[in-house]
Structure 1
Amino acid sequence: MSTPTGFMEYQRELPGDRDPLERIKDWNEFHRMFSDEQLRTQGARCMDCGTPFCHTGIELEGTVSGCPVNNLIPEWNNLIYRGLWREAYERLNMTNNFPEFTGRVCPAPCEGSCTVGMTGDPVTIKTIEEAIIERAFEEGWVIPELPLTRTGKKVAVVGSGPAGLATAAQLNKAGHTVTVYERADRIGGLLTYGIPAMKLEKEVVQRRVDLLIAEGIHFMTCTEIGKDISSEELLEQYDAVVLCGGATKARPIGNVEGHQLNGIYPAMDYLNSTIKSYLDQDLAEGTYISGKNKHVIVIGGGDTGTDCVATALRHGCLSITQFGTHAKSPLTRDPINNPWPEYPNVYTLDYAHEEARALYGEDPRAFSVLTKKFVGDENGNVKELHTVQIHRYIDEQGRKIYEELPGTEKVWPADLVLVAVGFEGPERTIIDQLGLVTDRRTNVKARYGDYKTNVDKVFAAGDMRRGQSLIVWAINEGRGAAHEVDKYLMGSTMLPR
């Protein structure tokens, strides 16, 4: 333990972010870093409790509690307190392939289940994690680690998001020859095209990709399995295939009148167009979907919708509103319906909401709102959106029921509408070509823990198997799938899950 009374002696602190009104002028990351002494103080707050929940990684009431990759959090908190940075990095590297990603964009379920959080503020785990990996890169401790021997087995990984990269990294360590196929022009999946640069700078992603290349992993971009290479061809060429293509089929809003109007886009199309233009030409060529001088409405209250808010602000929108069908969360955790160590469902301002409030004076979110119809102008362009307030509840069959509240109808001006209501599951091309069985949510059916599909030597992991989820779950599944593939190929495995 760092110090038995640290959590009583020191208050939780976070490094201050860049000023919201300044950071919306650029696309750089908005976080700042703590000094070594500040990190040491925050590490001292860790109790190293007898039964730490921070690294359990279990699901409670539909949310994750603790870290799904089972990071040895109390150990590296203690090492940071003692100033042993390299040892802290070695502990972190044992469980997490990509702490530079999770340290930036993970919602930190570890902090939600921190024991200190039962009666006070949790340890700043996420901040310390990012600091450890960045210090490791600065000091040159993160170097390519090539396998001593090659097994002669070849594995194809389809998709280069966090699940695919974790799978490839682990299988490469086992000595297999790994090729990762990516249909986009850059490696990274949603890490590159999906998460805006102000949350995760793309140099950070490329830094890790370059390391994986140096370790011997082969990457094939602009190659879509099922089109450029048939799925059957892949099976013939490789000893095992791991599908990590994500859940990229956007959920439509075809039941809303006027959904076909111009100016209504899936959220990922909007984000991807901006990110690609930013990477290709620093937005100079203007080929992206722009929110400049527009009244922008975002339908959907999750992280993707929040990223759309931040992007529209940087485009220079006239106004921005984010709709959610959920009610506004309470300021403090409900001890009955949301007890520790469940992930705390409390009201917070994410980075984009802070920016919108700084610019316009209020939280851009509208809660308990249901979109009823879109109205267009004489040219077929969306010009306004009609809503009603609702009461949302779960019925006895577990279905979401939206009860409209009379007299709460409202009309909103809207030149650009971004739909961020989630994803239906993976795209069907590979599934249909290989005859893969899917579950009731249309994800590839493969049991968690063995990742085997109904087709011999084909495995599935990440969002393609479990549905839209967290990056940290994708890394968990990539590591687990690699464990099972190595065992399938060699009869046994030394890879950790």
Structure 2
Amino acid sequence: MGKPTGFMEYKREVAEERDPLQRLSDWKEAYLPMPEDKLKRQGARCMDCGTPFCHTGIMLNYSASGCPLHNLIPEWNDLVYRGRWKEALDRLLKTNNFPEFTGRVCPAPCEGSCTVAISDPAVAIKSIEREIIDRGFNEGWMTPNPPKKRTGKKVAIVGSGPAGLAAADQLNKAGHTVTVFERDDRIGGLLMYGIPNMKLEKELIERRVKLLEAEGVNFVTNTEVGKDITAEELRNEYDSTILCTGAQKQRDLPIEGRQLNGIHYAMDYLTLSTKNLLNNKLDDKSGIHAEGKDVIVIGGGDTGADCVATALRQKCKSVVQFGKHPQLPEERSYDNPWPEYPKVFTVEYAYDEAEAKFGRDPREYSIMTTKFVGDENGNLKELHTIQIEKVKDENGKISLREVPGSEKVWPADLVFIAIGFTGPDQGVIQQFALETDQRSNVKAEYGKYTTNVEGVFAAGDVRRGQSLIVWAINEGREAARECDKYLMGATVLP
């Protein structure tokens, strides 16, 4: 695949970013389109490695190794190298319903298991993927393709995130009449409101939704199961139901002072910010707004980074992000070998922007918040921290220990808690009387997706817990296959 000696001749190149200070003045995508000659060189770097690990999609050491969608990466890399873009698009769409999303917000486990990455920087798979689908839309190749005949079967899908949309797309292709129910005012789930516009412009989601509508998928917004429609009504009206509601119950930080004004969940902040952007209310400061404030984000992951980038665009006075783990190494450590997902130090778009604005990377490592302190009016004014370190006992068990004398007080007007999710909301689950596992997720076997209720399936984060967009699409596709088999006795879906 690619040029036999390409991985030796060409270096890794990725899409360039717009100037950090310039992009702080808008909410547009941070990355620029990649020139075709660079894309062809990256396609040429894809080596004829015999056994490609990039599309294995297995779990190693609790992380995805290779693409869970089993994308035919060497094939479309080779086609891009040869300039055969439409064929590359056809191969990409065989396994991935929404490459315009994954090509932007997936952390690219495919690149971590790229064979070139054993000794050199990986092929820029994610950049190639994004450009293939973007070219597909720009060239007019992405046109509605509704099924030639309908089966007469009706399927309800609850939740319009990546799992729900993938299931809807697949079942519609099979000829079923599909209706997607979304409790919010726009389709997309966390794609719409959990990821800020500079990482995933909302026009891309709306473009895809319009295409799905043109192919026959029905969308119903502002409709919550248990409030606006009951589970019983869905089961009576539809032949089958797939639950794809995600795992949006945010993990709290129940320490002293948590009740003070100015402390918010990260997802509440990101959702409100995106809604204000889409509703042309960027100047509305009546809700959660960072202008002129000292902002602290608790949680070292991607959601925390998105809060940093959002606060910067709202002209915060300062911003710091806390993480409880030490800074990652520049290169793989001995206990993180290829083809595991590489746990190495990276600089995301938000950190470039913070450094350009304030002269430093906003991240603080190995730090734990001990309490919040407010003023006489109940408003947050500061928080207290202590440094922590990892220690290993005689049995090899690792725990965190506070470092004496490392206490510090930080000024803070606004705090965002971004320490993950504890599981799905239970309301819909209880409506359907579904069994749950010990982590409160819907109990449904991977690969089958059947619940304890006849004709009701579950897929995505509501079944597996908080995970990657590629796992959500993978499960949506597979649940659609099992649903089709349930409805028809056999399936035409992959």
Would you say the 8 A contact 1:273–1:287 is kept in 2? no
1:133 aligns with: 133
1:416 aligns with: 414
Deviations, residues 215-255 of structure 1 (Å, cap 9, x unaligned): 0000000000111111121111111110000001111112x
What code does the residue aligned with 1:68 have? P
TM-score where L is the length of structure 1: 0.98
What code does the residue aligned with 1:313 have? L
Count the aligned residue pairs: 494
Would you say the 8 A contact 1:277–1:287 is kept in 2? no
Structure 1 runs not aligned, ≥5 long: none
Shift of 1:401: 2.9
2:455 aligns with: 457
Alignment of structure 1 residues 28-107 onto 2, 5 Å: 28-107=28-107
1:471 pairs, out of 469, 472, 483, with: 469
Deviations, residues 360-412 of structure 1 (Å, cap 9, x unaligned): 11110111111100000010011101011112367799987321111111111
Would you say the 8 A contact 1:29–1:201 is kept in 2? yes
2:218 aligns with: 218
1:289 aligns with: 288
Would you say the 8 A contact 1:392–1:401 is kept in 2? yes
Change in CA separation of 1:194 and 1:119 when aligned onto 2, cut-off 3 Å: same
Alignment of structure 1 residues 274-313 onto 2, 5 Å: 274-313=273-312
Verify: 1:171 aligned to 2:184, yes or no: no
Alignment of structure 1 residues 438-453 onto 2, 5 Å: 438-453=436-451
2:315 aligns with: 316
For the residue of structure 2 that corresponds to 1:438, the secondary structure is coil
Moved over 6 A (4+): 394-400
Verify: 1:269 aligned to 2:268, yes or no: yes
Would you say the 8 A contact 1:277–1:288 is kept in 2? no
CA–CA distance in structure 1, aligned partners of residues 128 and 153 of structure 2: 38
What code does the residue aligned with 1:315 have? Q
Change in CA separation of 1:148 and 1:198 when aligned onto 2, cut-off 3 Å: same
CA–CA distance in structure 2, aligned partners of residues 286 and 17 of structure 1: 29
CA–CA distance in structure 2, aligned partners of residues 492 and 399 of structure 1: 49
For the residue of structure 1 that corresponds to 2:94, the secondary structure is helix
Q: What is the alpha-carbon root mean square deviation over aligned residues?
A: 1.3
CA–CA distance in structure 1, aligned partners of residues 189 and 96 of structure 2: 18
Deviations, residues 79-116 of structure 1 (Å, cap 9, x unaligned): 00111000000000100000000001111110000000
Would you say the 8 A contact 1:274–1:288 is kept in 2? no
What code does the residue aligned with 1:51 have? T
CA–CA distance in structure 2, aligned partners of residues 486 and 164 of structure 1: 15
Change in CA separation of 1:295 and 1:214 when aligned onto 2, cut-off 3 Å: same
TM-score where L is the length of structure 2: 0.98
What code does the residue aligned with 2:355 have? R
Change in CA separation of 1:163 and 1:483 when aligned onto 2, cut-off 3 Å: same
Question: Percent identical across equivalent pairs?
Answer: 64
Structure 2 runs not aligned, ≥5 long: none
